[in-house]
Chain A
Amino acid sequence: MRLDRLVTPWAERAPDRVAVDGADEAITYGELDRLANRFARVFRANGLKPGERVGVHLPRSGRAIAAMLGALRAGAVYVPLDPGSPPTRMGLIAQDCGLHHVVISPSLLASWAAAGVCGSIEHFFLSATGGPIEVPASTRTHAWSEVESANPAPTEPAGSSPDDLAYLLYTSGSTGVPKGVMLSHRNALAFVDWAADQIGLSDGDRVASVAPFHFDLSVFDIWSSLSRGATIVIVDEATVVSGRRMLDRIHAKTINVWYSVPSALVLMLESGGLAERGAPSLRVVFFAGEVFALKHLRSTMAALPKARFFNLFGPTETNVCLAYEVTAPPAPDAPAIPIGRASCGDVISILDPEGRVLPDGQVGELFVDGPTVMLGYWDGGRRTAPKRPYATGDLVSRRPDGELMYHGRRDHMVKIHGFRVELGEVEAALHDHGCIQEAVVFAVEQQLVAVAVPSDPTVSVLDIKRHCAARLPRYMIPSDVRLVEQLPRTSNGKADRVRTKTAVIAGDASLLRPVQRAETGKES
């Protein structure tokens, strides 16, 4: 099976069912199928060869999904680009993977042109009417009408192998240079089918699209939905920044399946009124990407008593390789919830630094082999297969009942005066505090620094230290605790550890505004 063949059967069976319920327009399965064929024809007519890459730089929408499908139907590889990232970064990615064809909105094209990064692009395809936009002479811009009026009949299938590269996801490498993760149709479908089966996804479901398309969570939203004839409901970029607007969208669109980072759910709890309003339509909540603070998970589960909750786990390189269904709210004294067991047909092992298999209870690195493991990193098109099993860099242990527990990133291990400190463990202790919304911890010159966002302005640095001292060894108590209004976020919506650390070192108060301290009015 291939991703580009998922839609046609539904277009034949239920052409008028809405495939993508977008912010601006709704597209039916019939329309999506035809628009994908139009894109495929226009790409081919403009020199796109099988195996080449197509950039898709659009807000999340039915047209963006049609462009991805069209690229696959032309035998090419789609590269979702983040509409929230600066054009210079897009220029780097375009250069890295040799993009010559990009589908883009008029306003984003204007930003590329202004930044002077259009150079290597031969063809821009506008996703809407707009312009004219001044681009270099070597670059052609195709109007939306050219796509819209193209022949919608199916093209000759260009690719046939499920092991073909389907898409590249660029992740921010820890060094700052974006890295392209190569994923095949088979990689995607191992997860797409597994996830759909877990929850019995079907043509009556309304699946939220919350995660950006360049983030691997969206693989479920798009492809699991299309494979089962469900409707994708776009929770657009302007909505995901507000807890209230997100919850309004769930209510208005009767969204019943949701997959996001925990932060989005916390936002609905803290500022959207989730606890009071509930969301009775939701039957499934998947979460992944960061640790869900247990107090927030409990509140979310209390607000959604009928929903099933799943903790999904895996780096972009393996999509999802572990899963845990949270069947009951975690007990008040529970330290954390498991990340679960191998999923999607993957096989996992927990090894020590010498490669020996560790017994239950011992913390080691998670290794993964199986159908979701990427083809490799993009390296000028060479397919350099990753070492197998794939070393995730995540530290885990296995409980006697077989469930895996997460202990942070291997590269988040620092040494403070010779002591090994797992930063994730310090963060978990901070998240355990009833008045801390979120926190990141890092080391600066042998000192642990915690930057925390309090949910209660009366919480003091002393309260937090006392709380840590009751849970952690002395050397793991942050010596420098900053209370700020909010943390910088990555384009995936996660707390941005790197930018937080940089701002602390540079003393940049504009990014980390201190909270207004309030007195408790009582002796603490």
Chain B
Amino acid sequence: MEARVKADVRQFIVSSWLSGDERGFDEQTDLQQTGILDSFSTLSLIAFLEDNFKVQLDPADINSETFRTVNAITGLVLAKLARQGTAGAVEKP
């Protein structure tokens, strides 16, 4: 799961804001210092995450730390999935 989330997030960022040019980019690249994420690109990244992974992000989830790198975003998504998964498991039976 982690690998899939990581690959999807990475692919979305590279195709949206790097013209598909992956050179020099990896999971630890600082997305703010490199000018990739600003308030508007962050909004479209949130929309992508919510849509692609079916997670619900709260304002509290979104800060410069959770959105600093692909790894951090992956961590956030996995944490959300885990919590929603548990919640779902409780409600279903």
Q: How large is the interface on B (under 10, 10 to 19, 20 to 34, 35 or more residues)?
A: 10 to 19
A523 to B28, CA, bound (A): 12
A482 to B34, CA, bound (A): 16
**B34 proximity list for chain A (CB < 8 A):** 462, 465-466, 469
Q: Check A462–B24 contact: CB distance below 8 A.
A: yes
Give chain B interface residues in 32-87, CB to chain A under 8 Å.
32-36, 38-41
Cβ of A474 within 8 Å of any chain B Cβ, yes or no, is yes
Q: What is A's interface to B at a CB cutoff of 8 Å?
A: 417, 458, 460-463, 465-466, 468-469, 472, 474-475, 477, 479-483, 517, 519-520, 523-524
* Contact residue among B17, B24, B25 (Cβ-Cβ distance under 8 Å from A479): B17
* Contact residue among B21, B39, B41 (Cβ-Cβ distance under 8 Å from A462): B21
Cβ of B29 within 8 Å of any chain A Cβ, yes or no, is yes
CB distance from A414 to the nearest CB of B (A): 15
CB distance from A459 to the nearest CB of B (A): 9
Q: Check B41–A479 contact: CB distance below 8 A.
A: yes
Q: Check A474–B35 contact: CB distance below 8 A.
A: yes
Residue of B33, B35, B38, B40 with highest tally of chain A CB at under 10 A: B35
A449 to B41, CA, bound (A): 14
* Contact residue among B18, B23, B29, B38 (Cβ-Cβ distance under 8 Å from A477): B38
Q: Check B18–A461 contact: CB distance below 8 A.
A: yes
Q: Check B38–A462 contact: CB distance below 8 A.
A: no
**B25 proximity list for chain A (CB < 8 A):** 460, 462
* Contact residue among B17, B33, B40 (Cβ-Cβ distance under 8 Å from A466): B33
**B32 proximity list for chain A (CB < 8 A):** 469
Given contacts A462-B21, A524-B24, contact A417 B40 (CB under 8 A): yes
Which residue of chain B has its CB nearest to the CB of A473? Answer: B38
**A482 proximity list for chain B (CB < 8 A):** 19
A123 to B60, CA, bound (A): 78
Q: Check A461–B19 contact: CB distance below 8 A.
A: yes
20 residue pairs bridging A and B, Cβ less than 8 Å apart: A458-B23, A460-B21, A460-B23, A461-B19, A461-B21, A462-B23, A462-B25, A462-B36, A463-B24, A465-B34, A465-B35, A466-B34, A469-B32, A469-B34, A474-B35, A474-B39, A479-B40, A519-B23, A520-B23, A520-B24
**A417 proximity list for chain B (CB < 8 A):** 40
Residue of A469, A517, A523 with highest tally of chain B CB at under 10 A: A469
Which residue of chain A has its CB nearest to the CB of B16? Answer: A479
**A520 proximity list for chain B (CB < 8 A):** 23-24
A481 to B29, CA, bound (A): 18
A482 to B18, CA, bound (A): 9
Q: Check A474–B38 contact: CB distance below 8 A.
A: yes
**A460 proximity list for chain B (CB < 8 A):** 18, 21, 23-25
Q: Check B38–A481 contact: CB distance below 8 A.
A: no
**A461 proximity list for chain B (CB < 8 A):** 18-19, 21, 23
